[in-house]
Amino acid sequence: MNTKNLLLIAALAALVQTASFAQNSAPVAHVNPAVIPVPRTADWITNRQALVLQRAKDAPGDYDLEFIGDSITQGWEGAGKNVWKELGDKYKIINFGVSGDRTEHVLWRFEHGQLDGIKAKVAVVMIGTNNSNKNRDGSWTYTDNDILQGVTAIVNEIRRRQPETKVLLLGIFPRGKAFNEQRGRLLEINQVLAKLDDANNIFYLDFGSQYVENDGSISKNIMPDALHPNEAGYKIWDAAMSPKLKELIGK
């Protein structure tokens, strides 16, 4: 092979290498998983997912309160059942909490009938803590902005599907026995979620500080696992939102 051909081959190889490098180094567009509706598929939770969807189908109509969220909301039927009963004596209520849910799972339930036929005066929403968990390798699946957009999408969907419903958006509860990075993330997200409050249709309420002791710890007497409230924790929740509910519902 002559020198001219060798030079041509070398030039072509360099072009291919340059094109490959440019392709590999091009920024990959970020896809936010927190706003893409997906169902729960694990066997341990699909029954609960199906139950709350069926709950909406079996009992459509008018409600004072609908609760939307994850295990902390589902827990009104567990550790908070006595407080839930007292709440039910004052208001007509329905619980759409599913343990382990992230924002994308709530959006999926909306798409599959969770709010169909339900006319609530107020939607009590707290979601996002499960999106803030780390992966096994210590990395984050969701950025803070991902979580913010996921919660915002839920609020917007409620407003779209239930235009007469007021949204009481709760700050995501603190978690962890002491100061930690995850709790800090949630505080930063809450600061921006507060901006959704328009004093007309969306109202933001944050009482997470009531779960934190003077040294920054979370008491086992309120949250035994530093995440899920016990009965005392649900009493705090009930008392904190009671004035706003009286304002919005008029009871």
How would DSSP label each residue in 41-92? --HHHHHHHHHHHHHHHHS-EEEEEEEEESHHHHGGGTTTHHHHHHHHHHS-
Tokens of 71: 């295990």
**By the 8 A CB rule, do 84 and 77 touch?**
yes
pLDDT > 90 fraction of the chain, expressed in percent and rounded: 86
Residues 188-241 pLDDT 10s: 999 999 999 999 999 999 999 999 999 999 999 999 999 999 999 999 999 999
Please provide the average confidence, as pLDDT, over all residues in the chain.
Answer: 92
Q: pTM for this structure?
A: 0.89
Residue 39 to residue 107: CA distance in whole angstroms: 9
Catalytic residue IDs: 71, 225, 228
33-249 carries CATH number 3.50.50.60: no
Beta bridge partners of 119: 62
Domain ranges of the chain: 33-249
Beta bridge partners of 170: 205
pLDDT tens, position by position, 135-185: 888 899 999 999 999 999 999 999 999 999 999 999 999 999 999 999 999
Nearest residue to 158 (alpha-carbon basis) of 60, 76, 68, 73: 68
Rounded to whole angstroms, the Cα distance separating 209 from 179 reads 13
- Give me the long-range contacts of 44-50 (CB less than 8 A, separation at least 24): 45/98, 45/99, 45/100, 48/74, 48/98, 48/99, 49/98, 49/105, 49/109
Cβ contacts of residue 172 below 8 Å, gap of 6+? 126, 127, 128, 129, 132, 186, 189, 190, 193, 208
- DSSP 3-state of 232: helix
